[in-house]
Chains A and B, each alone.
Chain A
């Protein structure tokens, strides 16, 4: 069976996209044929594939990290908000519907089929799929409507990792609250958590990590250091303009992947990548 692992975040911008790309890069270097997947992306930053199909730019970036040409099946559903609840839905790379608060929501079965179809298509051709969630998986107001997180994990039968951004502060609260608000069956699909964007000496986190591991009955798979990084941001203007200058390349795409390589090197000592690889190979019980 194709190995798979899903990265979900405590918030948007927790580092899901980057960690997904990082895992793609690592697994490629370990000799896997790896592909990224995100069922549904809510973003106005999109990319056009060589076939003229539209997809989220983060999946294009992850594809580059995996050493692949981006394909629309890596992001079958792209929602592009326009205003006051209106948005354009791009399905399999083509505009599919204009959604507004008054129109009938698109048939969930069609969307689920699109997710399944694309995911299976990737499974046929690759031996490891790294799946990215969307926003927080426990938005109480979206219960039952959120396709991009636990619903996708169920469709893909994928173990889930939860990543929280410590740079914002409150990471323990964010991780614990996310776990607390999940149903029992969903909690059982969670196989570990990761603390992202940490500055300083990791030993200071020890006691907090231990409390969380006990409360949530899952291991901390690592602490990823804060690295000045260039990534294409999906939905926030936050990172723009930061990051190191003077990469050896002048091409933005090359700079993005180079920057990811430097993050991989910095993260490796603190992140149990082998265990993540095992979790992906083992799947869910």
Chain B
């Protein structure tokens, strides 16, 4: 990982290891939007940050503003690269369902005590 501080706004930009593992091009400061050129090979910073080359860029994975010993995250949408998602419709919380991928009954949603017979959903027993 490379930690690069913007000369203009002082924001610390973290170039996460995976996006920038082998990368030659610009990154965009999460604070002021300034573009900087970097060259990274095998996870190591080989060149830069220096004057931008072209207009294409990647965003840092994380950024923060330092004021004394206080660190404020700068992670609002559009400023840093979005986190990886498992799927386009990823929810990250329990997904309720009663039908499986082939349309048959499956106990895939939270139940109420009155919906149980013993420890099993009544619909399964029907």
Q: Do A and B bind each other?
A: no
